[in-house]
Chains A and B, each alone.
Chain A
């Protein structure tokens, strides 16, 4: 009987040794010239299917930078993964596990990969001086870097997502004046993420004169007969679908079931991937979505990665079908932005591993223009991006893609901009309210 107890004790001891070895190992043994880049991933759990192609895109780009370009100015990237299951506690554990860096190389940027995790890290990141980069998710008001110095909701905030969608509808209807009188229903995941677009849509509705209808879907959204019955009654002109996970295919199928035309449904960023439409089968044909990372395998960088990484068997991708998918390309996007931020920081702080504080400077001075995008080979895949202390978002434009049953095609006229000038004052107002609540003194507009 005492045997299992002994085994348990031995196991516990071994674990304690492993843990202490880990925490010590993080601080000693210096081996510079390599840039550590931890990846918080979710390869199991409810959302694993959307995550797996993202890490593939990101890791493939890192491998491309290492193997083909010889690293960032010679500094090679090293990374390891930590599983979050998209759960907050696990994400926080991962962040704490990796934040000390590895083998003497500091953490430049942490990508939390999950809206709730990013929120839990808002304050921790400030005291640890590690920038939290959230692409197309995260707290919208953290665009104001004067109040949120280490939060970077780069490229496409939820507010820009909503505004781009409205502007696409205007483009399709023939001008912003045509928005007047339209009924636009937003079917959203009833969570903080889903509610983020209520404020900007209400504001835009007032500005342009369309009718803003909000229809919540409770988590996880695997039954939506009531919501779509309501839509059948209201008869909106367009439906803006802001789902997450299983909610999207169910919405598309239920829409078909109730006879709502699928080409008048525009999915949000997290409702616009292959993983969202494939389960819906034929019902998804014609479905639209707004995205900052359009699908496609014909971009310059995609071709290079195909030749140098995928065809040489070095890809992290398990399902070759996912190459060039929306989520794979979002991983490329993330990789490119991270690498460019480190590159920018190296210009000021010298070539070598960059720490969080330096990467924050790099991010705030990030300026990826069309010329640079062409150099990277990401022209068309990614929009020009210019950040500052006042503006941690930068781009704010999306492309509209349409599912033809096999693949996504770009149907918008290039990038559809959002009304950032209209919305930014509102965002700054909210950031100021947060600063007041927390007793934060905002930084100056410009930093060097």
Chain B
């Protein structure tokens, strides 16, 4: 077995814990918890503090959404990709042009159509997956990663010929309400995330989701078993890129306000990949947990360091120490739990269930 193949098998392995340890489907507790969680997130919209919206909640949710998109492709269908940033950029630029050039369209329709363009781009750049596998496929998606943002930077039409090549949302109005204030942008993001998470959850529990997992776990066997492998792979690219595209549009308009193509560079793709590795492959919750770790932990470290040492230690050296600390935390976490934070949470849950009997 070659390493590229081992890579795929390993992807499957790391996905296993959540599938195995999930509580019986009849349990109402997780659903109740989920509903309470969503209600609580909506309740946060009444926070008076912009900081929580603009710096914490909105980027956390959008990156979790992007992680979810990639997780469908990589965690469920076993197709590695480093083009997530590019598909986000397609969503952002397509939505911008729809808002600008088709002002009659409602915001939701522009976002969905923008996602549709991203899905089309995903299918196009997903075609090599019919032939290329494993890590080499990830490398092939780099072509999308470098070509698409270049395209948007190169041709002024995409940004309506602004001198800086950057785009900003002409208007954010839904159901007659202006959403351009922080709480409005938060609600827009949250609603999109809740709906798309529900969509993703239903897809992975459907026939399509089972097909994806079969292909991930052993492609040849899946093909022998009668699963249309090529179609399912492209479907995974389409759904994943659709979600990424909407995440990109939200990143541009609900989070930053004004962006250019460089917002969606290779680093963005890597960050999204890291979110799902650290959160947990093949798990919906993993994208959220991973996003919390990758996006929020450095901010937390920075606040703690600032309140503990601010002014006392040289600012530059403090930054370097924070960086070392964050890197070390990643390594320590992986050593303690190589399958990501979701696996850690699952272990914790099992422990909790058995609690009075065994500690």
Interface residues of chain A, those whose CB is within 8 Å of chain B, are: 1-2, 4-5, 14-15, 18-19, 21-23, 41, 43-44, 48, 52, 80-81, 83, 88-89, 92-93, 96-97, 99-100, 116, 119-124, 127-128, 139-141, 190-193, 195-196, 199, 219, 430, 434, 437-439
Of the candidates A15, A97, A139, A193, which one forms a contact with B300 in the assembled complex, judged by CB atoms under 8 Å apart?
A15
Which one of B100, B153, B257, B320 contacts A191 once the chains associate, using CB atoms below 8 Å?
B153
- For residue B162, CB closer than 8 A to chain A, the reply is yes
Kindly list chain B residues whose C-beta atoms are within 8 Å of the C-beta of A23: 49, 51-52
Q: Which of A14, A18, A434 has the most CB of B within 10 A?
A: A18
Alpha-carbon gap, A430 to B161, bound state (A): 10
Chain B residues with CB under 8 A of A22? 303, 307
* Pairwise interchain contact B303-A5, C-beta atoms closer than 8 A: no
B59 touches A89 (CB 8 A): yes
In the complex, 24 of the A-B residue pairs with CB atoms within 8 angstroms, ordered by the A residue number, are: A5-B344, A15-B303, A18-B307, A19-B303, A23-B52, A48-B316, A80-B310, A96-B51, A120-B256, A120-B258, A123-B168, A123-B180, A123-B258, A127-B180, A140-B164, A191-B165, A192-B164, A192-B165, A192-B262, A193-B164, A430-B163, A434-B162, A438-B168, A438-B171
B181 contacts the other chain (CB 8 A): yes
- Most chain B C-beta atoms within 10 Å of own C-beta, residue among A48, A89, A124: A89
Q: Is B166 an interface residue (CB 8 A)?
A: yes
| Complex A-B, nearest 3 residue pairs according to Cβ-Cβ distance, in ascending order | A43-B316, A192-B165, A96-B55
Q: How far is the CB of A227 from chain B (nearest CB, A)?
A: 16
Q: A44 to chain B: closest CB distance in Å?
A: 4
Q: Which residues of B contact A128 (CB under 8 A)?
A: 50
CB A34 to nearest CB in B, in angstroms, measures 15
Instruction: Assess whether B315 is in contact with A43, with CB atoms less than 8 Å apart.
Output: yes
Q: Tell me, rounded to whole Å, the shortest Cβ–Cβ distance linking B322 to chain A.
A: 8
Q: Using known A-B contacts A15-B303, A99-B50, determine if residue A119 contacts B310 with beta carbons closer than 8 Å.
A: no
Q: How far is the CB of B308 from chain A (nearest CB, A)?
A: 9
Which residues of chain A are near B331, meaning CB under 8 Å?
A: none
In the complex formed, the residue of B with least CB distance to A140 is B163
Q: For the complex formed, measure the closest distance between the CB of B145 and the CB atoms of chain A, giving whole angstroms.
A: 13
Q: B315, A83: Cβ atoms under 8 Å?
A: yes
Which B residue sits closest to A59, measured CB to CB? B315
B299 near A93 (CB under 8 angstroms)?
yes
Cβ A4 vs Cβ B51 within 8 A: no
Q: Which of B214-270 contact A (CB under 8 A)?
A: 255-260, 262-263
Closest CB in chain A relative to B80 CB, distance in Å: 24
Q: Does B170 contact A (CB under 8 A)?
A: yes
Say yes or no: B323 contacts A44, CB within 8 Å: yes
Q: For A14, what are the chain B residues with a Cβ–Cβ distance below 8 Å?
A: 304
Sample of 13 more A-B contacts, CB < 8 Å, known A116-B263, A127-B181, A438-B168 = A15-B300, A18-B304, A44-B316, A89-B256, A97-B51, A119-B260, A123-B168, A192-B153, A193-B164, A195-B164, A196-B163, A430-B162, A437-B100
CB-defined contacts of B260 to chain A, threshold 8 Å: 116, 119, 191-192
Q: For the complex, what is the distance from the CA of A277 to the CA of B18, rounded to whole Å?
A: 55
- Asked whether B300 lies within 8 Å of A116 as measured between CB atoms, the reply is no
Q: How far is the CA of A2 from the CA of B358 in the complex (A)?
A: 12
Contact with A along B303-341 (1 / 0, CB 8 A): 110110011000110011001000000000000100000
Q: How far is the CA of A79 from the CA of B17 in the complex (A)?
A: 49
Q: Across the two chains, which residue of chain A brings its CB closest to B322?
A: A83
User: Quick one: which of A119, A121, A122, A438 has the most chain B CB within 10 A?
Assistant: A119
Q: Does B302 contact A (CB under 8 A)?
A: yes
Q: Which residue from chain B places its CB closest to the CB of A141 in the assembled complex? A: B163
Task: Name, among B49, B258, B310, the residue most crowded by chain A CB atoms within 10 Å (CB to CB).
Answer: B258
Contacts of B351 in A (CB 8 A): 1-2
Q: Is B29 an interface residue (CB 8 A)?
A: no
